[in-house]
Structure 1
Amino acid sequence: MLHPCLVPLQCSKSCGSGRRQRALQCVNHNQQEVHEMYCVNQIKPPNLESCSTHACDFIWITGEWTECSASCGQGYRQRLVSCSEVHVENDNYEYGHQSLSNCPGTPPESYMPCNLDPCPQPQEWRAGIWGPCSVSCGDGVMERTVQCMSADGQGQQQQQQLRILYEVWLDTIRCQEIQSVNGPVPDSEHFLSIQGKALKVYCGGMQTETPQEYITLTTGEGENFSEIYGFRLNDPTQCPANGSRREDCDCRRDYSAAGTTTFSKVRLDLSKMNIITTDWKFAVNREGKSVPFATAGDCYSATRCPQGRFRINLSGTGFQVAEGTSWVSQGNYAVANIHKSQDGSTVSGMCGGYCGKCTPSSGRTLPVTVA
């Protein structure tokens, strides 16, 4: 009678969700391997199983501090902070990067000020008027004469150049600069100077030539979502249940543009101080089609009975929706009911029509300011 011979192999991991594989051989009564056709009538045992399912330990790993960004005055140092999973393999410790939420306690500081002694100041800088720009658009250069005047009125003259593209940079540090100091580092949160304030911003794409800034929405996805409602009334001239949402209505769920999208981070265009509403890198499509940030709509009713919803909550981010930001209605019988908090940190909307939606009046962007 033939039976399989099982040769177990070592578990792939010492902790966490490991896998163990074993080779299967078809052998005869003398334990000699024969062709597998002789075992065709026997149930084949599984060759994979879970192993080492106990949880791994997580520890904080810190890199070396960078050199101070300034030799005097206000500067800063940075270091890489990561949460790592510890594996023990043959008495050797191996580390794997994990989400920061896995590690216990507060993460070590990744940013600290340095060189706070004031810089020596000249007695007086005397600057001339900026000359004309070298180009009519794009990245041009202006020049002016600058003199450092001594007590006896003598001065040394030098030329200064200013790239128009960098005018906004005078009080703004971007992820591109962090990358230029530290090199290609993992995507993570950094303190950036934005309009004179130090704000925590997520730097994405730090392994590429074009790092991008993202606002981490600390209030979570439940407070930051967009919805195009999918139900449609069979009689669009009605507004049942006094406008409240009920899924047992006399309606059908066939609106092809419907969808619900939640957001954990949103893309920030620092040069224009806009949120890009159609960036989906940190968005989750819960159902249907992707819906841009700050957008809602439906095809429910033609009687000012909106069911589509959106919500924005920037509390705790250091940003707020810019004053004067408005929403516009688009489509048939479109209506938008928008409610903004006084400080601009939260906005909610009920929008729809037959069919209709609302979007920020600025199009695919949402203007924001530093709170």
Structure 2
Amino acid sequence: MYCVNQIRPPDIESCNTHACELIWITGEWTECSSSCGQGYRQRLVSCSEVHVENDNYEYSHQSLSNCPGTPPESYMPCNLDPCPPPQEWRVGIWGQCSVSCGDGVMERMVQCLAADGQENNRCTWENKPEARKVCKNPSCHLPSSCGEVQTLNGPLPDSEYLLNIQGKTLKVYCAEMQTDTPQEYISLMAAEGENFSEIFGYRLNDPTQCPANGSRREDCDCRRDYTTAGITTFSKVRLDISKMNIITTDWKFAFTHEGKSVPFATAGDCYSAARCPQGQFRINLSGTGFRVSDDTSWISQGNNAVADVQKSQDGSRVSGMCGGYCGKCAPSSGSSLAVTVESI
């Protein structure tokens, strides 16, 4: 009642009378969408109304169409290192079977190529297509001996002929084709330095020694008077097909360079009694289709005899150092060496 004559103060007043500001708000760019080559990055873009109250900013989201100007980019291309071109295995067509009948092999070209056709080595090797496989041509009849070749065709010249040996087609040299007793020989493909036998001719004056650590030297304190010494090389070796043995004492296609003829796969000396062998032999059947049988072994013979014989894993090559005072080594089967055909 006392305020009747007083002016009532206002109970509402305006505040924050300046216009609200609309601004674009952007987030952080994401990582590139691709690990190589061209990709993109993106970020959040929004339009917000800004309110200032006691130096504190408050934002309220608005429709994108309310904000002035062009909105900031929300996508951005990103370019990394070029991606390596894709690789894949390319194969050629299979070649002809290696034999005209029976079991053989076929081969084809296998390459790792990039998209541009260039060869490289980035393909997955676990997925490499096979480049070689067994093939079977229609069965056919091949003679199994030189005698059968002669029976089927009459007298023929001595030459290489295809024979069926243990189910495999192999080339064998047939000799004595103008006689009643043709003979089979294996033509050795390696050089003569890979198929020889030697009985070393030097003897130490003091046979209890092993000079030069056992290495071979001809300027030793020794004499060269071992009467059974010799060195023989072989270009072909006689094959007994019925027994699958090489006859080591056949020298028809052998050449003795000095001294006495030495059987195939044999070596020895009369050099030293101190386990110091100097005689050597080598066998190399590579490329013939034959190999030395797994159960073939060599024995030492004579006084103080010792043999160091090494055979390759596939049985195609054998080398030996043998000797004694006097001694040698030879195949355990005597004058024969057991062989078999190579597996495909």
TM-score interval, smaller chain = 0.5 to 0.7
TM-score normalized by structure 2? 0.59
- CA–CA separation in structure 2 for the residues paired with 1:228 and 1:279: 17
Where does structure 2 lack aligned partners over 5 or more consecutive residues? 1-99, 103-136
- CA–CA separation in structure 2 for the residues paired with 1:74 and 1:370: 17
Write the deviation string for residues 64-104 of structure 1: whole angstroms up to 9, x where unpaired. Answer: xxxxxxxxx969xxxxxxxxxxxxxxxxxxxxxxxxxxxxx
Which of 225, 233, 238 aligns to 1:267? It is 238
Match in the other structure for 1:249: 220
1:329–1:117 Cα change, 3 Å:
closer
1:191–1:304 Cα change, 3 Å:
same
User: Aligned pair 1:312/2:287, yes or no?
Assistant: no
Contact 2:301 2:327 in 1 (8 A): yes
- Residue correspondences, number: 209
Which of 322, 326, 330 aligns to 1:359? It is 330
- CA–CA separation in structure 1 for the residues paired with 2:305 and 2:143: 40
User: Aligned pair 1:228/2:199, yes or no?
Assistant: yes
Write the deviation string for residues 39-88 of structure 1: whole angstroms up to 9, x where unpaired. Answer: xxxxxxxxxxxxxxxxxxxxxxxxxxxxxxxxxx969xxxxxxxxxxxxx
User: Aligned pair 1:297/2:273, yes or no?
Assistant: no
Which residue identity lines up with residue 344 of structure 1 in the other structure? Answer: G
Deviation at 1:231, TM superposition (A): 0.2
Match in the other structure for 1:35: none
Give the superposed CA RMSD.
2.0
- CA–CA separation in structure 1 for the residues paired with 2:224 and 2:148: 49
Divergent runs of 4+, >4 A: 116-119
Match in the other structure for 1:347: 318
Match in the other structure for 2:307: 336
- CA–CA separation in structure 2 for the residues paired with 1:257 and 1:196: 41
Deviation at 1:117, TM superposition (A): 7.4
Match in the other structure for 2:249: 278
2:150 partner SS: helix
- CA–CA separation in structure 2 for the residues paired with 1:118 and 1:325: 32
- CA–CA separation in structure 2 for the residues paired with 1:117 and 1:359: 42
- CA–CA separation in structure 2 for the residues paired with 1:284 and 1:252: 25
Name which one, 1 or 2, has greater alpha-carbon Rg.
2
Deviation at 1:220, TM superposition (A): 2.4
- CA–CA separation in structure 2 for the residues paired with 1:268 and 1:118: 25
Contact 1:201 1:216 in 2 (8 A): yes
Deviation at 1:343, TM superposition (A): 0.5
1:117–1:317 Cα change, 3 Å:
closer
Contact 2:142 2:163 in 1 (8 A): no
TM-score normalized by structure 1? 0.54
2:180 partner SS: coil
- CA–CA separation in structure 2 for the residues paired with 1:351 and 1:306: 5
- CA–CA separation in structure 2 for the residues paired with 1:118 and 1:177: 18
Deviation at 1:221, TM superposition (A): 1.3
Write the deviation string for residues 346-365 of structure 1: whole angstroms up to 9, x where unpaired. Answer: 00000000000000000000
User: Aligned pair 1:324/2:311, yes or no?
Assistant: no
- CA–CA separation in structure 2 for the residues paired with 1:256 and 1:335: 20
Where does structure 1 lack aligned partners over 5 or more consecutive residues? 1-72, 76-115, 120-169
- CA–CA separation in structure 2 for the residues paired with 1:353 and 1:195: 39
2:174 partner SS: strand
- CA–CA separation in structure 1 for the residues paired with 2:341 and 2:202: 38
Write the deviation string for residues 85-144 of structure 1: whole angstroms up to 9, x where unpaired. Answer: xxxxxxxxxxxxxxxxxxxxxxxxxxxxxxx8789xxxxxxxxxxxxxxxxxxxxxxxxx
Greater RCO (Cα-Cα under 8 Å, separation 6 or more): 2
Write the deviation string for residues 233-289 of structure 1: whole angstroms up to 9, x where unpaired. Answer: 000000000000111100000000100000000000000000000001001011000
- CA–CA separation in structure 1 for the residues paired with 2:240 and 2:138: 33
- CA–CA separation in structure 2 for the residues paired with 1:118 and 1:284: 40
Aligned sequence identity (%): 75
2:193 partner SS: helix
Which residue identity lines up with residue 238 of structure 2 in the other structure? Answer: R
Deviation at 1:172, TM superposition (A): 6.4
